[in-house]
Every structure is written in structure tokens, then in C-alpha cells.
Amino acid sequence: AQSVTQLGSHVSVSEGALVLLRCNYSSSVPPYLFWYVQYPNQGLQLLLKYTTGATLVKGINGFEAEFKKSETSFHLTKPSAHMSDAAEYFCAVISSGSARQLTFGSGTQLTVLP
Amino acid sequence: EAGVAQSPRYKIIEKRQSVAFWCNPISGHATLYWYQQILGQGPKLLIQFQNNGVVDDSQLPKDRFSAERLKGVDSTLKIQPAKLEDSAVYLCASTTGLGNEQFFGPGTRLTVL
């Protein structure tokens, strides 16, 4: 079975500071990995995804994530936080079964301080 | 391109009452999902449809929850009777095929009193 662990349910950064949101996964086969963002009272929006190929993946709004197989990690980063980045972020892994279902982490609430 | 539509956006009911949620996926998307998102947790899959057939409903509490996707387009999720622990946001998502990017609707926030 696939699983995802997000370290830190709440992260606070100052505007302009580095954003680092941590995600570790467990998978018996090469995973597909995703980061989604959820703004208040809205659905989830895909930030970026890793399937195969280059391990450094760039997404929308200046975010990027690096797939590190040896560390089973897929941490999300952004060099300079903006107030509009305040939201909840979810890491997810897709299952290896035929149904190809997403398994989500518990989420990290990002607060950006002025 | 229109996104995934859901209604209602908010619903408040008493325990033991019934409630239904509606989802209209993106046109042409064959696969449709219903998720339950309890406050402070990530979304949990309830049921997955491929066209109008059920792919997986192993996590759907079938004693009280039911879902259908008639004609392979719109879908409804019903809870009867509701319990306090059903208070959550119910998200609908659709995709062109298994394993592809899922597009999420805004969700229905259910409060059971």
C-alpha cells in the first residue's frame, strides 16, 4: 500500500523567505508524486507532478519539488514566499494498482507573515 | 473550459436526516471520484467511477452512503441517515483517464448537528 507523510501540519514563513514543505512517501514501486494546493473554500489545484524523467520538477506560481528516491522524499520549495501563497498544501502519491488512485498526506497549512 | 461543478456548496442537517450532493465533471472526463475531507486531514477516496461503472467503492460506508453516475456524466452522492462524524467537505474530481491529473470541484461542506 502507498502512504504519504507530511512533516509539520503548520509552517510559518516571512514574506520573501524560503518555503520548504516536507513530504515523504512509501511505495514498493516507482511512484507518481503530486503536490496540490487548496485555498480556503476552494477545491484542490495541481501545483506540480513527478512521473518519470527529470527529478527536479517545476510547477506553477514559482514552486518546485525534487524527487529523491534514496530518501523517499518529494519536498516542495519556493525561493521567496508571497502573501498569496498562504494556503494548505497536500502531497499525494498515485497507487500502483490498476485503479491508479491518489493517496493524500494530511496536509501542511502555510502561513506567510508580513 | 468549465471546471468541475458541485452543488450545494454548503449544507447543514440534523443527524439521522438524509442529504444528497451533485457533481458535474468536466466534459469528456470518463473517470469521476468522490472524496471525503475531514477538517485537518487530507482527502480520502470514497468511490471511483469509470464512465457509469464503479471501479472501487471499498472505502464507501455502504450502510449509509450511496453513489451513482447515470449515463456516465453527472454523479450524486447520498448519505442516509447522516451521523455527526459525516461532517466534512465532500470533493468531486474528474480526469480523462486512470492515473492522469485529477481536476477538483470546490466541494460541498456538510455540517451534521
The band of B107, judged by pLDDT with boundaries at 50, 70 and 90, is very high
pLDDT on residue A42: 84
Minimum CA–CA partner of A5 in chain B: B42
Chain B within 8 Å of A86 (Cβ-Cβ)? no
In tens, the pLDDT along B78-98 reads 999 999 999 999 999 999 876
Q: How far apart are the C-alpha atoms of A73 and B75, rounded to whole Å?
A: 36
pLDDT of residue B63 exceeding 60, the answer is yes
In tens, the pLDDT along A48-99 reads 999 888 889 999 999 999 999 999 999 999 999 999 999 999 999 987 665 6
Chain B within 8 Å of A46 (Cβ-Cβ)? yes
CB contact under 8 A, A100 and B91: no
pLDDT on residue A10: 96
In tens, the pLDDT along A6-65 reads 999 999 999 999 999 999 998 777 788 999 999 988 889 999 999 888 889 999 999 999
pLDDT of residue B1 exceeding 80, the answer is no
